[in-house]
Amino acid sequence: MKLVTAVIKPFKLDDVKDALAAVGVQGMTVSEAQGFGRQGGHSETYRGTEYKVLFTPKTRLEIVVDDDQSDQIVVAARGQPPPDGQSVDYDIERDGEEIGVLRLWPIPGASIDVHSVELQRSLRVVGLAFDNVLLLQSIAHRAVQEERIRLARDLHDEIGPSLVSIGLGLDVLIQQEGIDPATKKGVIDMRATITELVDQVRTTVADLRPAEIVSLVENAEMVAADLPADGPSLVISIEEAEPPDSFVRTQVVAILTEAVRNAVEHSGASLVTIEGESDEAHGWLRITDNGRGFARRSPRTHRYGLVGMQERADEIGAVFEIKSSLTTGTSVEVRWGKS
């Protein structure tokens, strides 16, 4: 099998789809892209002001084909090959790997052989250019992923806790005596809206994050990699026979991430330890730090984080426990499934 990636002008999509169907290729992945090259962009005018648009809209195609079909995929063509099949193929290579073929045929009375050396030299440049294109695609993809992670972190660390804070304030207001019934109904409706917004933020954060990592150990290592350079040391000791199922794993990893973040930002710890065990049916994680603990009634930043972790544990029917001392640090433990 081979993966063929092509970037085309959007209006050519139907033609390409029909041409692929004609050679037996039925499926493809289509996504929007932007290109910058010889076209150099274009100018647009909005409310009397001219703007230079450097990138032009493109359509990116990804097609998986059988090896015997890949020879039928033509990226670019000009003219028609002679019926007698008198054509010459030149391999386009990158690091010794064939990435394409240039097929030429002579005009009547001419020969391609006299240009063979020059063609080979030119195709080496083409291979290098293709390598540069792949590198630029990789850099662009990494930049997009980093921006998605940044947005997810901002939503999770800033907007999410703020919404939870508003919800807790509304809960206090609802429980007050003597509140007008109409006002109370409005507050209850507002509380329901806040709950929906929190769920939407969580969904958005999950969508923004990159492809899910199955292993709890790998997730813990990613958390460790995000620690600041002057942050605490982090020790990971997880016996993972099998990772939990997807839904449980999502909640457990969120609890893990929040517990480590709280330890780093609020405890002043020099050491954070993540330990636990996991198989497909059950498991446990314990996150311990040697920093300053806290009282369960304060500070606010801790309380909102604890509420979020408790809610996630409740969603998977897990046991959630926190032990904290002002002098010996904090331990966060979650146990799920039946042992």
62-78: average pLDDT: 65
Q: Angle between the 246-262 and 216-225 helix axes, to the nearest 10 degrees?
A: 30
pLDDT bracket for residue 6 (50, 70, 90): confident
Give the pLDDT score at 105: 80
Per residue in 128-171, pLDDT (tens digit) is: 887 777 677 667 766 776 777 788 778 888 888 888 889 889 98
Give the pLDDT score at 59: 83
Is this prediction's pTM over 0.75? no
For the chain, domain boundaries: 1-76, 154-208, 216-336
| Among the four given CATH numbers 3.30.565.10, 3.40.30.10, 3.40.50.450, 3.30.465.10, the one describing domain 216-336 | 3.30.565.10
pLDDT bracket for residue 300 (50, 70, 90): very low
Q: Which fold has domain 1-76?
A: Alpha-Beta Plaits (3.30.70)
Give the pLDDT score at 106: 78
318-328: average pLDDT: 91
Give exposure, 283-312, as e/b (b: 16+ Cβ within 10 Å).
bbbbbbbbbbbbeeeeeeebbbbbebbbbb
pLDDT > 60? residue 296: no
> Do 1-76 and 216-336 have matching folds?
no
Write the DSSP symbol of residue 158: I
pLDDT > 50? residue 78: yes
CA distances from 11 to 7, 29, 58 (A): 12, 16, 9
